[in-house]
Chains A and B, each alone.
Chain A
Amino acid sequence: MRPAISGSAPATPTFSTSRFRAEREADWIAFDALLTRLEKRGAKALSSEELLQLPLLYRATLSSLSIARATSLDKALLDHLEALSIRGYFLIYGVRQSRLDRAKRFFLHDWPAAVQSVWKETLIIVLILLLGTLTSWSLVTHNPEWYYNFIPEELAGGRDPRASAEFLQGTLGHGRAAGEQEGALHMFATYLFTHNSQVSIMSFALGFAFGIPTLMLEYYQGISLGAMIAIFTSKGLGFDFGGWLFIHGTTELFAAALSGAAGLRIGAAVVFPGARGRLQAAADAGRTAGKVMVGVIIMLLVAGLLEGFGRQLITETLLRYGIGTLMLLFWLGYYYLPRQETDS
């Protein structure tokens, strides 16, 4: 056996971790520098030569880590190599698409596909909404006193069974009797958008508790809707109220139903995981639901614009129906029309 470099300890083997480090340190430093630039400024910051270097340096670092684990006891060295390898792994295997590509793919494929795949849940939520609406509608129609149980006084804003037909007509915004200032429309729209988004996010998030709170929330939404409809139909304003509701309601209620469906999907996956493990099932459902939720927020933005601007500026009932129907057809077509399967 050859004596060690310094020769002080007689039995030191020829392999020395100090020498191992001296030989390879340059690679690690170079890799570290490349990663730092990549993290700060993205792939554009590297020349093509450096990009080619990247996987080589990554593999060299990983192999250093393996050797160091088997031979070295220098904690600082091991920790550094481990941290460097982890950073390198996630950068090299992490991103395969640019943000623009990802966005394009989301709108063209992922979003409609995700919505399509929760069609069963959507149907259930729509039925629950309808059930809630019908329940409160029939109750209030037969006995207006019920109304006060469903809609709190302060939210009704005077739109209750005692109100006159003229007053109700006024709240529908014909001839701007609603007292809405034109300048404040965008404020109104923004408020509606942020508020509705928050409610939808909640309705989605609550799906975790086996979907039951989600169902309750949706049923409750239906209840208030039905009570409102009953008030207006009893005064013979059903058609006008329909237009008032329809212009943004098709988009907004659709979005609300989808957020409920996303929540329900998660709840169902937790209760009935099927052949997969419960964790795996929840994770799969969560990813689909996440895509649906991004879509829901976009839809609510559209609904907020329609409600804040469209409804206040367009007072013709038929036109309101027209726009509402058009939006509904657009969403239905976007989501459910069969389309060519794009690869990847």
Chain B
Amino acid sequence: MTTAAVHARAQALRKSKVRQFVTPEGVDLELRIASAGLRLGALVIDISLIQLILLGFTLLMIWALGASQSSIAISIWMLGAFVLRTFWFIGFELGQRAATPGKRLVGIRVVARDGGRLTADAVVARNLIRELEIFLPLTFIGFSAAEEMVNWWTMLAGFVWSLTLSLFLLFNRDRMRMGDLIAGTWVVMAERVKLDRDIAAAAEAAAAALTFSDAELSVYGIFELQELERVIRAADARAMREVADTIRAKIGRPVAEEDDVFLLSYYRQLKARLERKLLFGKRREDKYASD
């Protein structure tokens, strides 16, 4: 497969994760569906947190049991463990940010699919189904460990069946769990993005001397521009050297100036050129598109 085809496929994949979500003001927020990997990561973080808290709580209750000699501590422990397990997800997702600590860390949140507000019943429904998704496969594993070999195949069948429930989100485009399907929700990206400095404005003073001709600027499109922006912002000397050499080779310039000065001024002028075209309604997505 050619690089162009690979590139086009990557673009299409990115596009397929974006969902239209128009606000009452008429602006499309272009929500992106959170990937299965992120979801799993968030779940693992949440479960670890629950276990940690449970451990602390258990130790506390053991101490209380020793101190008070009253079995009420055991009741409190059972109740606490139940509440923690059942209401951890529900409680956090009912909050302002509609995300558990795990989800916050990986930068995702729950939203209602229809664009309305996320109601409490939807949150309850999607999280009670979680019991089934997590614990049913575990139950089958537990059973098969306890039973004789005769039942092994039945247990395996049960386990596979329950896995199809748990892995349901891998089989649909919107990465919906069973619970999401039932509750009418989506899990979407909601990272916080810091506003980084404007590197084009900073370059204006430094790189006035270096000018590129129109032919030299016409080899790249928006995708390459934004990759270049990423490299400049990361400010890794080796990556910048590599990119600068590639660009120099492509436009046929000798190595005459520092890499960062070269890249910054090239970035600035390429950006100005592409933005100007954008104003005239011409959007050149990448270097494979016609200029």
A73-B226, A76-B196, A87-B190 known; A9+B121 contact, CB < 8 A: no
Query: 1/0 contact trace for B260-285 toward A, CB 8 Å?
Result: 00000000010110111011000000
List residues of chain B with CB within 8 A of the CB of A72: 275
The reply to whether A65 and B27 contact each other, CB–CB distance below 8 Å, is: yes
The reply to whether B182 and A73 contact each other, CB–CB distance below 8 Å, is: no
List residues of chain A with CB within 8 A of the CB of B82: 193-194, 197
List residues of chain A with CB within 8 A of the CB of B120: 102, 106, 290, 294
The distance from the CB of A182 to the nearest CB of chain B, in whole angstroms, is 11
List residues of chain A with CB within 8 A of the CB of B111: 90
The reply to whether B86 and A74 contact each other, CB–CB distance below 8 Å, is: no
Please name the residue on chain B nearest to A13 by beta carbon: B276
How far, in angstroms, from A18 to B191 measured CA to CA in the complex? 24
A76-B195, A286-B122 known; A85+B71 contact, CB < 8 A: no
The distance from the CB of A207 to the nearest CB of chain B, in whole angstroms, is 9
The reply to whether B182 and A71 contact each other, CB–CB distance below 8 Å, is: no
> Which one of B81, B122, B181 has the greatest number of beta carbons of chain A within 10 Å?
B181
How far, in angstroms, from A293 to B182 measured CA to CA in the complex? 13
A170 at the A/B interface (Cβ < 8 Å)? no
The reply to whether A74 and B271 contact each other, CB–CB distance below 8 Å, is: yes
The reply to whether A8 and B211 contact each other, CB–CB distance below 8 Å, is: yes
A133 at the A/B interface (Cβ < 8 Å)? no
A6-B204, A9-B269, A201-B131 known; A90+B222 contact, CB < 8 A: no
A75-B226, A90-B109, A183-B71 known; A66+B27 contact, CB < 8 A: yes
List residues of chain A with CB within 8 A of the CB of B135: 202
**Size band of the interface chain A makes with B:** 35 or more
List residues of chain B with CB within 8 A of the CB of A102: 120
Query: 1/0 contact trace for A1-30 toward B, CB 8 Å?
Result: 000011011011101011001100100110
List residues of chain B with CB within 8 A of the CB of A290: 120-126, 128, 183
Summarize A's interface: helix, strand, loop or mixed.
Answer: helix
The distance from the CB of B17 to the nearest CB of chain A, in whole angstroms, is 14
**Size band of the interface chain B makes with A:** 35 or more
The reply to whether B201 and A83 contact each other, CB–CB distance below 8 Å, is: no
List residues of chain A with CB within 8 A of the CB of B126: 286, 290
Within 8 Å by CB of A18, from B128, B192, B200, lies B200
A9-B272, A66-B27 known; A283+B184 contact, CB < 8 A: yes
The distance from the CB of B106 to the nearest CB of chain A, in whole angstroms, is 14
Within 8 Å by CB of B208, from A6, A194, A287, lies A6
B230 at the A/B interface (Cβ < 8 Å)? yes
A9-B272, A74-B271, A75-B226 known; A283+B196 contact, CB < 8 A: no
The reply to whether A8 and B204 contact each other, CB–CB distance below 8 Å, is: yes
List residues of chain B with CB within 8 A of the CB of A194: 78-79, 81-82
Query: Restricting to A202-238, which residues have a CB under 8 Å from any CB of B?
Result: 202, 204-206, 208-209
The reply to whether A18 and B201 contact each other, CB–CB distance below 8 Å, is: yes
How far, in angstroms, from A135 to B212 measured CA to CA in the complex? 89
The reply to whether A39 and B78 contact each other, CB–CB distance below 8 Å, is: no
How far, in angstroms, from A11 to B97 measured CA to CA in the complex? 46
B38 at the A/B interface (Cβ < 8 Å)? no
Query: 1/0 contact trace for B96-125 toward A, CB 8 Å?
Result: 111000000000010101000111111111
A191 at the A/B interface (Cβ < 8 Å)? yes
List residues of chain A with CB within 8 A of the CB of B23: 62, 85, 89, 93
How far, in angstroms, from A73 to B117 measured CA to CA in the complex? 32
A79 at the A/B interface (Cβ < 8 Å)? yes
The reply to whether A86 and B31 contact each other, CB–CB distance below 8 Å, is: yes
Query: Restricting to A77-133, which residues have a CB under 8 Å from any CB of B?
Result: 77, 79-80, 82-87, 89-91, 93-96, 102, 106, 110, 114
For this complex, 24 residue pairs linking A to B, each with C-beta atoms less than 8 Å apart, are A8-B208, A9-B211, A9-B272, A42-B96, A59-B25, A62-B23, A62-B25, A71-B275, A73-B274, A75-B229, A76-B195, A80-B195, A83-B192, A90-B190, A95-B96, A106-B120, A186-B71, A190-B79, A194-B82, A198-B131, A205-B129, A205-B132, A283-B181, A290-B183
Identify the 5 closest CB pairs spanning chains A and B, nearest first. Answer: A283-B184, A290-B125, A286-B182, A205-B132, A290-B121
